[in-house]
Each structure stands twice: as structure tokens, then as C-alpha cells.
């Protein structure tokens, strides 16, 4: 698997498997299938309620801990100095490991400074190999990086052919933050899996729309974690390292950028209020 070097020198697989919206009772089977077809990086979160399933699957796989890259995220109900540390301990227990490869702050709301200070402490003590954020757009990212000791190494944001994040990437590049895509297949929105431009490029290379879109992200230097509950699609999505998009393909896909989210506006006041309600999604760690 191709890797991307983070600012602290850690090599992270450029492609992994995401488990958002996979119910807790299905997660172990899905992650076992994903490891079986060759994924070695798993992306979960406290707010997906399935960290235990990830932990059971990698433990049973027989794969050495150092050959797996585990990513999880702190939910906003666990933000704040001391509280975030308790939640890191809880995630470690659920994932059945004594270190996490990459831990992110999931959202730019609530006490993100206190939370990030705990990430820094846990990083320094070796519980976390790398730290970063998710859904931090330039305003929040610049602010956090300027006020914390260690700049976020990764920022996981919605990134796909219809929302390419070119402007946000300029700020990430300045700070030394690597971009990681969530929703690399746009969760199928915008007629994604039948989109004519992508289907045409796919026909040329004998690849599916999903494979073209994921390959485009890989060639654009983005870390990706597509989700599928189906083993055959997990394998299909991983099978993108035997072809290359040419300059014409890349410019045709560049034209698809709508420069806006298909999901959520983190700057909208109503959405901020919604997040305050979503604090209760995860019980604070004890
Ligand atoms: N940080 C955040 O706020 C945030 C937000 C969202 C997601 N994420 C992370 O990013 C990961 C990926 O994003 P996502 O799950 O939202 O969406 P996604 O990977 O863009 O799309 C997943 C959807 O595409 C379908 N699919 C997958 N491969 C396919 C294929 N080859 N052909 C046809 N359909 C296919 C899946 O259906 P089936 O399962 O039925 O195959 C599922 O409905 C998540 O799992 C999570 O780890 C993070």
C-alpha cells in the first residue's frame, strides 16, 4: 500500500476503510472482510459506536499490531482538558490496543482547545502516534494551528469529485496538514455512480465509476477511506493501483468541482445549534 508521510515522519497508508454508518453488530464482520481483502487502515470514531467491533476484528485477524493503522475521533461531548484524556483511554480499551495511530477531533465545536491539548499530551506520552482534526475549515484550522504547540498532522474533510477542497488545501499545505477525504464516493449523491464524465473515463480504462473517482483522489495526494458493507465492493474499491488517469482525465474531473458541500455547512448557525443537540450522541467517558 502506498503511504503518505505526516509532518512528524509517521508513514500512513494512503488508502483505508471507513466504518461510518456500520451498525455495531455488523462492524466486526465488515472489518474482518476489509482486512481479508487487503485493507490495513481502519477509520472509526467514538460517535460511530463501533470501536469495539474494530477492536475485535483486528485482534482476531492475527495481523500484527504494527501492520495495522487505526484511526479514531473524539466526539464533542468528550472535549475539554482531562475529559478528552479519559475518552482516549476508553477508545484504547474498546480498540484493544495500547496506542492509536491517528486520533482526530471530530468537529470544530465546543472546547476544542482543551481537547487538542489532551491530544498533544497523549501524543507526547506515546498513546497516539499522530494527531489531527476533522471538519476544520481554514478559519478553525488556522486558529488552532496558531494557538497550539503541535500543528494538526491530518485534517479529514468532505472531499470528492464534486467538492475538491482546493482553497482549503492551500491552508493545509501552509500548515503542513495532510488532507484525508471523508465521503470519497459522495455517498452516491449527485447521481455519482452513473455520472457520465466518470462513467466515460471508466469505460476507457475498463474501471468502474467508484474506481475512477478513488484513483483521482489518490493521484491528487488525498488519503481515502471509502466505506462499503459488501466484500466485493471493498475489493473493487481497493483495486485502483494498476492503472493511471491521464492529463485529459484529470482535467475533465477538475471541471466537476462545485466547490460546496453536498452534506453540511459547518458555518451555518442552525447547523451549529444542531451540533449542540448532537453532543448527547456519545455519553462522556467516565
Ligand atoms: N469525519 C467525518 O465527519 C466523517 C463524515 C462522514 C464519513 N467519514 C468517514 O469517511 C468514510 C467514508 O465516507 P462515507 O461512508 O460517508 O461515504 P462513501 O465512502 O463516499 O460512500 C459510501 C456509500 O457508497 C456505497 N459504495 C461503496 N463502494 C461502492 C461501489 N464500489 N459501488 C457502488 N456503491 C458503493 C456504499 O454502499 P454499500 O455499503 O451498500 O456498498 C455506501 O452507501 C466513513 O465510513 C467514515 O469512516 C467521516
Residues 75-93 have pLDDT tens digits of 999 999 999 999 999 999 9
Residue range 149-191, pLDDT digits in tens? 999 999 999 999 999 999 999 999 999 999 999 999 999 999 9
Q: Is residue 283 part of a domain?
A: no
Residue 41 pairs in a beta bridge with 69
Q: Given ligand 1 and candidates 181, 199, 224, 228, which is best to mutate, with the most ligand atoms within 8 Å of its CB?
A: 228
Half-sphere exposure of 130 (CA within 13 A, CB side): 23
Q: Is residue 252 part of a domain?
A: yes
The count of domains in the chain is: 1
Calculate mean pLDDT across residues 102-107.
98
Q: Is residue 215 part of a domain?
A: yes
Residue range 111-139, pLDDT digits in tens? 999 999 999 999 999 999 999 999 999 99
The label of the residue with cell 492503472 reads 243
Q: Is residue 285 part of a domain?
A: no
Calculate mean pLDDT across residues 5-14.
98
Nearest CA to ligand 1 atom 48: 182
**pLDDT band per the 50, 70, 90 thresholds, residue 258:** very high
**What length is written for the chain?**
286
Residue 113: active-site member: no
From the CA of 185, give the closest atom in ligand 1.
20
Structural domain for 118, as ranges: 3-277
From the CA of 233, give the closest atom in ligand 1.
31
- Cα 274 to averaged position of ligand 1 atoms, centre (Å): 22
Lining ligand 1 with CB less than 6 A are: 18-20, 43, 106, 134-135, 156, 182-188, 193, 210, 225-230, 233, 236-237
DSSP string, the chain: --EEE-TTS-EEESB-EE-TT--HHHHHHHHHHHHHHT--EEE--GGGT-HHHHHHHHHHH---GGG-EEEEEE-GGG-STTHHHHHHHHHHHHHT-S-BSEEEE--S-SSHHHHHHHHHHHHHTTSBS-EEEES--HHHHHHHHHHSSS--SEEEEE-BTTB--HHHHHHHHHHTPEEEEESTTGGGTTTGGG-HHHHHHHHHHT--HHHHHHHHHHHTT-EE----SSHHHHHHHH--SS----HHHHHHHHTT---S-SS--TT-HHHHHHHHHHGGGSPPP-
Asked if the model's pLDDT at residue 1 lies above 90, the reply is no
Residue range 57-72, pLDDT digits in tens? 999 999 999 999 999 9
**pLDDT in the model for residue 113:** 98
Q: Is residue 98 part of a domain?
A: yes
Q: Is residue 93 part of a domain?
A: yes
Q: Is residue 37 part of a domain?
A: yes
Asked if the model's pLDDT at residue 235 lies above 90, the reply is yes
Residue range 196-215, pLDDT digits in tens? 999 999 999 999 999 999 99
Q: Is residue 261 part of a domain?
A: yes
Pairing of strands 11-13, 3-5: antiparallel
Amino acid at each position: 500500500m502506498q503511504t503518505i508521510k505526516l509532518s512528524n515522519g509517521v508513514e500512513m497508508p494512503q488508502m483505508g476503510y471507513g466504518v461510518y454508518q456500520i451498525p455495531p453488530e455488523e462492524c466486526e464482520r465488515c472489518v474482518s472482510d476489509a482486512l481479508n481483502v487487503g485493507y490495513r487502515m481502519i477509520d472509526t470514531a467514538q460517535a460511530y459506536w463501533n470501536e469495539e467491533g474494530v477492536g475485535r476484528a483486528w485482534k482476531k485477524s492475527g495481523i500484527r499490531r504494527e501492520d495495522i493503522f487505526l484511526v479514531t475521533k473524539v466526539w464533542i461531548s468528550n472535549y475539554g482538558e482531562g475529559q478528552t484524556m479519559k475518552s482516549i483511554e476508553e477508545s484504547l480499551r474498546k480498540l484493544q490496543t495500547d496506542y492509536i495511530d491517528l486520533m482526530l477531533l471530530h468537529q470544530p465545536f465546543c472546547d476544542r482547545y482543551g481537547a487538542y491539548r489532551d491530544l498533544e499530551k497523549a501524543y507526547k506520552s506515546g498513546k497516539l502516534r499522530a494527531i489531527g482534526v476533522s471538519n476544520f475549515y481554514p478559519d478553525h484550522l488556522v486558529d488552532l494551528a496558531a494557538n497550539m504547540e503541535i500543528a494538526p498532522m491530518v485534517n479529514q474533510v468532505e472531499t470528492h469529485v464534486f467538492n475538491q477542497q482546493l482553497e482549503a488545501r492551500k491552508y493545509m499545505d501552509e500548515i503542513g496538514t495532510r488532507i484525508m477525504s471523508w465521503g470519497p464516493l459522495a455517498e452516491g449523491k449527485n447521481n455519482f455512480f452513473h455520472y457520465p464524465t466518470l462513467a466515460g473515463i471508466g469505460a476507457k480504462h475498463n474501471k468502474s465509476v467508484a474506481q475512477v473517482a478513488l484513483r483521482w483522489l489518490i493521484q491528487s495526494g488525498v488519503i481515502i477511506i471509502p466505506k462499503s458493507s459488501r466484500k466485493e465492493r471493498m475489493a473493487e474499491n481497493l483495486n485502483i493501483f494498476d492503472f493511471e488517469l491521464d492529463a485529459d482525465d484529470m482535467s475533465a474531473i477538475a471541471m466537476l468541482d462545485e466547490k460546496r458541500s453536498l452534506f453540511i455547512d459547518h458555518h451555518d448557525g442552525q447547523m451549529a445549534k444542531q451540533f449542540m443537540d448532537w453532543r448527547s450522541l456519545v455519553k462522556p467517558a467516565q
